[in-house]
Amino acid sequence: MVEASPTAEENKDAAQMADEKKNEGNTALKAGQIDDAIKLYTEAIDLQKSEGMFTNRAMAYIKQRKYKEAIFDCEQALYLNP
């Protein structure tokens, strides 16, 4: 069975939802809720991968001293925007 490609409207909805999750993650990170921020950034990435989503999550990982995870996210960001 072949799955249909997402429509432009579905892509727009996913991008908007991802941006909302990213903004919620930013708020959580500023409040010191690092675990919540990582969860929200991950949800944003699952909706739409972008350089900014990965670098934001990398910053949260660095605050937790999870350097391997931070490096991985930085590599993903570089892959998306060399």
Q: How large is the average pLDDT for residues 8-18?
A: 80
Q: How large is the average pLDDT for residues 56-72?
A: 98
The whole-number pLDDT of residue 10 equals 66
The whole-number pLDDT of residue 42 equals 98
C-beta separation of 77 from 55 below 8 A: yes
User: Is pLDDT larger for residue 77 or for residue 2?
Assistant: 77
Domain annotation for the chain: domains and CATH numbers: 9-80 (1.25.40.10)
Q: How large is the average pLDDT for residues 53-74?
A: 98
The whole-number pLDDT of residue 13 equals 87
Tell me the average pLDDT of the chain: 91
